[in-house]
Structure 1
Amino acid sequence: MLALTGLLLGGMLATPTPAPPDPALAKRLDAVLDTAVAEQRVVGAVVLVARDGQVVYRRAVGQADREAGAPMTPDTPFRLASMTKPVVTLAALRLAEQGKLELQAPVTRYLPWFRPRLADGTAPAITLAQLLTHTAGLGYRFEESADGVYARLGVSDGLDDAGLGLEDNLKRLAQAPLYFPPGQGWRYSLGIDVIGAVIEQVTGKPLPEAVHALVTGPLRLDHLAFVAAPGTPLAVPYADGHPPLRMTENMDVPLPEGLGSAVRFSPRRAFDAKAFPSGGAGMIGTADDYLRLLEFVRTGSGGLLKPATLADARRDQVGAQAQTQGPGWGFGYGWAVLDDPAAAHSPQGKGTLQWGGAYGHNWFVDPVNRFSVILLTDTAFEGMSGPLVGQVRDAVYGRTAPSSQP
């Protein structure tokens, strides 16, 4: 079969095409996924693997709704959580190319009211680039203790039913002291939610409409959206446990040690058109559509961004201070960047991009080995940062003893 050509009429990105079966790859991945379900580490999962634009593995395993007995399918839509960030980042980069915003400009040019201060009371300039790379000095509520300043201010991480608007949430965020002077540290943050508000300001559109016009529409990602239509069979979310626990509304799910305190989830938020559109956590989508997005990121085909812009986004912008993925990883615009595979003990090529989502997801794009891989599960946080992540990765690369390290 032909490899991905990258272009359709009108410059659209082509859908990754099926490839001849790879029995060895399928055997390795099947074993990893079947074991994860049998051991009750996840309730269900979908994995897609593309190489050179051809889908060499596509499988769903387990259940999308355990209590209803509904099986997982490759087409099951998921709450994407932080897998929203790359989509909104690409929207911001398009606006930068169009001259509608400048990455090195202070955020106050677009949102004059967003002026967080340091502990000494000074209000330093924060650039859009710093927001995109999590070097602005902001944070997340889940990174703090349960009685931290973000919790006391009522800041939403974009996953709960907070009952407030985007601007209201960011005004609360602006009252919290910055963790460090902008550009002098790295901390995973609500920065992309701020970028979402900037996008609304410069386009004059609600964020969902702007993202559709700038990214998901041009790439024909028909199942990526901010609100699920009534009756959409989204995968039911579960929390780590033996067996995993079905999530309830505004449920606080403890994070693995070292990642923070707990994430507050509201599964029904995905159906609430009145919930504020979180640029960092608010989208839903399918594995197939997200794989198309990853293939754009890998190849640049389709004309969505200029090659130089995409190359800059894929470049490490911050260096070793970004340790969310561990040693050897930096951070670009929207994702972690692998600088040193040896330090990371990873079979992935240098320049691999990777990120995930709190509902239980992970993905990576390896430009050197021409892989795009997506793992969507319905179980947090095993599918985001548990052993399954490293096991899927190692199975893709043919390691005979899958690693327990994510």
Structure 2
Amino acid sequence: MTLPGVTRAVDAAISGRRIAGAVVLISRDGHPVHDQAAGLADLASETPMRRGTVFRLASVTKPVIAVTTMHLVEAGDLDLTSPIHRWLGDFRPRLADGSVPDITVDNLLTHTAGLSYRMSEPPGSDYDRLEVSDGLDRTDLTLQQNLDRIARTTLRAVPGTEFRYSLAYDVLGALIESVTGTTLPKAVDQIVCRPLQLHSFGFSVGELAQVATAYSDGLIPITDEPIPNDFNVVRFSPERIFDHTQWPSGGAGAAGTAGDVLRFLESVALGGDPILTSRTVTEMYAARIGRQLVGTTLHDSFARGWAVTSPDTAPLYGLPIDSVHWGGAYGHSWAIDPATRTVVVALTNTTPEGMAGAFPADVARAAFTDLATGALDA
């Protein structure tokens, strides 16, 4: 079952060598309407992309951590407004004036904690000096050691006053470990993966796993060599996912199939059961960080775990107004339209095209056009 416009959008991106391959899955009200694996998972061996291909998910990890956090809030193990040093006593980063403000769980969920990413700071910053890991690189650090380094950075803003995409979800990962008394992978497995039967999702994979090769634009294989961005460099390590000793990054460290990502997002779109209540899901959909605080780093408003489209931004993304969405640095995008309970998952192995190029909007625009007109191929 496929949507013809989506098929054309995916095939055009592959034939135009904008992406190497993709798995695109779309459902509405829990029913599949598009199922497509196209192109190549590995160009050198001409291995085809398959529905069971595993992807390095990068920031597609974040909504899973957001849902895990909100599950713990529902259970009474966390609350959104208390300072996180209640659970992480040593995590007390300072502002430039030396004062130590409180950071709440909600600050972390909405990226308003005053933290940043090393890749988003200029060369020579304290993030560089402390060699903070962004969760994409291969290091000898533990989660606690990286947390200690983050705690020694200077906060970029008073918590709650400014959106800044950041390592906040890695701090949430440490918070989840502290509250549950187990490792982040085990906590996510118990709270999310087992109830939803997500068999491929995890923070490391075996050597025999069929993992898509990672490419940058131009279909150049990604290695451990830093890739320049607009601010600094991005430190990827594609081999990280095969090393079970790497610290589990709540912001960027998971891997899984498109099918598992779809199943997870469907649980949100259909009301949260069996992990969350529908009331909590509704609260997670609500835009909490207005565009006046977001500034130039994001066109949309931001909620607990994802961005929210507005009348101005929805056409840019090819999505309905009030859809929630985000992406992943290895070349992924996903979206939920709460009004129609439509889920779009588009995982590629090419970045940044698959995340921030024309591809995500092309797919989403085609999907909602096809669904509106009733175009569907058996």
Contact map agreement 1:323 1:330 (CA 8 A) in 2:
no
Aligned to 1:285: 256
Structural mapping, 1:4-403, within 5 Å: 21=1, 25-26=3-4, 28-241=5-218, 244-248=219-223, 250-255=224-229, 257=230, 260-320=231-291, 321-322=293-294, 326-327=298-299, 329-338=300-309, 340-346=310-316, 347-398=318-369
CA RMSD after TM alignment = 1.6
- Alpha-carbon offset, residue 165 of structure 1: 0.6
Q: Please give the TM-score of this superposition, normalised by the length of structure 1.
A: 0.87
Name the CA distance, whole Å, in 1 between partners of 2:247 and 2:125.
23
Q: Larger deviation: 367-376 or 207-216? A: 367-376
Cα distance in structure 1, aligned partners of 2:197 and 2:297 = 30
- Tell me the secondary structure at the aligned position of residue 217 of structure 1: helix
Mapped contact 1:131–1:191 kept (Cα < 8 A)? yes
Q: Indicate conservation of the 8 Å contact 1:350/1:368, yes or no.
A: no
Q: Deviation of residue 308 (structure 1)?
A: 1.6
CA apart distance, 1:326 = 4.5
- Contact 2:36-2:51 within 8 A present in 1 as well: yes
Give the whole-Å Cα distance in 2 for the aligned partners of 1:57 and 1:154: 43
Structure 1: 5+ residue stretches without partners: 1-20, 400-406
* Alpha-carbon distance, 1:275 to partner: 0.4
Q: In the TM superposition, what is the alpha-carbon distance from 1:324 to its structure 2 partner?
A: 7.2
Assess, with a 3 A threshold, how the Cα gap between structure 1 residues 367 and 30 changes in structure 2: closer, same or farther: same
SS in 2 for 1:362: strand
- After superposition, what is the alpha-carbon deviation per residue over 1:14-36, rounded to whole angstroms, capped at 9, x for unaligned? xxxxxxx45xx32x222211221
User: Sequence identity, in percent?
Assistant: 44
Q: Deviations over 1:289-345 (max 9, x none)?
A: 111111111111533112221111111111112357844x2111111112x224543
Instruction: Report the Cα distance in structure 1 between the residues aligned to 2:191 and 2:313, rounded to whole angstroms.
Output: 37
Report if the CA contact (8 A) 1:44-1:64 is conserved: yes
CA deviations over 1:116-157 (Å, ceiling 9, x no partner): 100111111111110111000000011112332211110000
Q: Secondary structure at the match of 1:179?
A: coil
Compute the displacement of 1:173 (Å).
Answer: 1.0
CA distance in 2, matches of 1:44, 1:288: 16
**How many angstroms apart in 2 are the aligned matches of 1:37 and 1:93?**
38
Letter in 1 for 2:91: F
Q: What per-residue deviation string (whole Å, max 9, x for no partner) do you get for residues 227-272 of structure 1?
A: 102211100101112xx11111x222233x5xx4331111111011
Q: Which amino acid aligns with 1:309?
A: T
Tell me the secondary structure at the aligned position of residue 195 of structure 2.
Answer: coil
CA distance in 2, matches of 1:195, 1:112: 14
Question: 2:179, 2:30 → 1: CA distance?
Answer: 34
Distance 1:123 1:325 in 2: 25
SS at match of 1:251: coil
Q: Retained in 1: the 8 A contact 2:319–2:365?
A: no
d(CA) in 1 for partners of 2:298, 2:328 = 17
Question: Is the 1:140–1:190 contact (alpha carbons within 8 Å) kept by the matching residues of 2?
Answer: yes
Q: How many pairs were matched up? A: 368
Which deviations, in whole Å up to 9, do the C-alpha atoms of 1:89-139 show, x marking residues without a partner? Answer: 111111111111111111111111111100111111111110111000000
AA matched with 1:322:
V
| SS in structure 2 of the partner of residue 322 of structure 1 | helix
207-216 or 343-352: which moved more? 343-352
Distance 1:62-1:294 versus aligned 2 partners, 3 A rule: same
- Evaluate the alpha carbon distance shift between residue 35 and residue 324 of structure 1 in structure 2; reply closer, same or farther with a 3 A threshold: farther
Cα offsets for 1:153-201 (capped at 9, x unmatched): 1000000012111111111111111110001100001001001101111
Letter in 1 for 2:319: Q
| Deviation for aligned residue 1:279 | 0.6
Q: Which has the higher contact order (CA 8 A, sep 6+)?
A: 2
- CA–CA distance in 2 between the matches of 1:252 and 1:239? 12
Partner of 1:5: none
